[in-house]
Amino acid sequence: MSVLNNPIRVILMGPPGAGKGTQGEILAALWQVPRIAPGDIFRAEIKAETELGLKVKAFSDSGKLVPDETVIELMRSRLNQPDTSSGWILDGFPRTVVQAESLDMLLAEMSQVYDYVINLEVPDHILIERLLLRAKQDGRVDDTEDVIKNRLQEYYAKTKPLLDFYGQRVIVIDGTPVLSEVTKDIQNKLGSL
């Protein structure tokens, strides 16, 4: 993708369990850009028991979204790191309309634009299956059945409306097939734009 050595900036969206993290990692390696995932940053901070970790633990553990100001502050500093000069893949940000508006402002300040918004679509029953399986494999505390319910609720109430915010710019990808198929589909769709 970054054939002309232009930075590539991608917003990766989709419900929890859609495969954002996995696709994000594959694409980040292919395009040689950092994958920036606030959920990963929060988990690391919680583990290290930092001030930020303590602040977000209750939200993250219960499947609730962390308050916008906290996430926006984190992303402001992360997007100003030198490794973002090649671009980025945002995985799990923005997750609310307020965050999306803040990202627009932040990018305007930095004289940058995003290139693509990708939405990975997967039906609920498959999401729940995948998340429960991940709970067993990775031992994530937010992959228990009750917490999964909260996370999906938060997604439908606060994140899904972002699809209207981005409107025509959203590239819809079916996230149900095997990993390699999904990656290929993304590459094909982006390559043909």
Give 72-94 as a 3 state SS string: HHHHHHHCCCHHHHHEEEEECCC
> Which stretches of the chain bind ligand AMP, using CB under 6 A?
16, 37-39, 42, 59-60, 63-66, 71, 92-93, 95, 99, 142, 151
Question: Among 15, 27, 12, 22, which Cα is nearest to 122's?
Answer: 15
Q: Minimal distance in Å, beta carbon 38 to ligand AMP?
A: 4
CB of 136 to ligand AMP, least distance (A): 17
Nearer residue to ligand AMP within complex by CB, 111 or 137: 137
- Which residues are annotated as catalytic? 20, 95, 134, 140, 151
Shortest Å distance, C-beta 163 to ligand AMP: 15
Q: Considering beta carbons, is residue 71 or 186 the nearer one to ligand AMP?
A: 71
Residue 189 exposed, middle or buried by CB count within 10 Å (0-12, 13-18, 19+): middle
Q: Which is nearer to ligand AMP, 71 or 117 (CB)?
A: 71
- Helix or strand or coil: residue 20? helix
Contact between residue 12 and residue 62 where contact means Cβ atoms under 8 Å apart:
no
